[in-house]
Structure 1
Amino acid sequence: MKTSTLIRSLALAPLIVLAAPAAMAADKAAQQSARARFEHDSAVCNSGRSNQDRATCMQEARAALAASQGGRLPEADPSLARNATKRCAALPIDDRKDCEARMQGQGTTSGSAAAGGIYRELVTRTIGPAEPAASGVAPDDLERK
């Protein structure tokens, strides 16, 4: 019995050694992502675009960074994206596609809840049909003939 346990343990040892760098790389990537999110949140706080005063905003950003680094930050709630899409469902079909694109972050966003609303703008350029080529005849000339 003891020999088979020892053999199994020795067989698993290389797998554990090989898995350690991958786990450390994933942890480092998560820390970099948390740091990048903190930098973004700090920029929002300092620009005045949050719906909180600067001190509260920075306190929340630091708390989120600490929670993320400790593995205590929850994943994003998928119901938020569903709710944004539901708001677009009330629009006519022609407008719905643009609304959904704005809700997914395309375009520009300005304003805040504290200022009374968030303005999302998406500019879509479409090319219309080509104008007919000029015939070289003025409209007045056509009437005289």
Structure 2
Amino acid sequence: MATLLVSAGAALAAGPSREIADAQERYRQEMAVCNSGQSHQDVKICRTEARNALAEAKRGGLAEAAPNQYSRNAVQRCSEFQGDERTACEARVFNPSRVDGSVSGGGLVRESVIVVPVR
């Protein structure tokens, strides 16, 4: 029993240090991309973002989002609208007709086509 508790304690203690080691490795990879010019960002901004991400990871603030977190965030953004506008917002998020752009290019534009009958 004592061995099991010591092993469990060692595993728990290794968790945060493994996360920090992973964050430091990601930082080195991100800095290599920044320095190579492949980041599609200004080098100074890229380096700053990499440093900030490492600092946040060390504070424990970069945990992986739950798989449904992205959907909840999207629904929350659409909650600003009412009625048909809200329905259209959710259609753009969950079932867009077309998506243009990229994250590295500054963002995605989602388009949905809604046919409105003539009255």
TM-score (norm 1): 0.42
TM-score (norm 2): 0.50
Larger Cα-atom Rg: 1
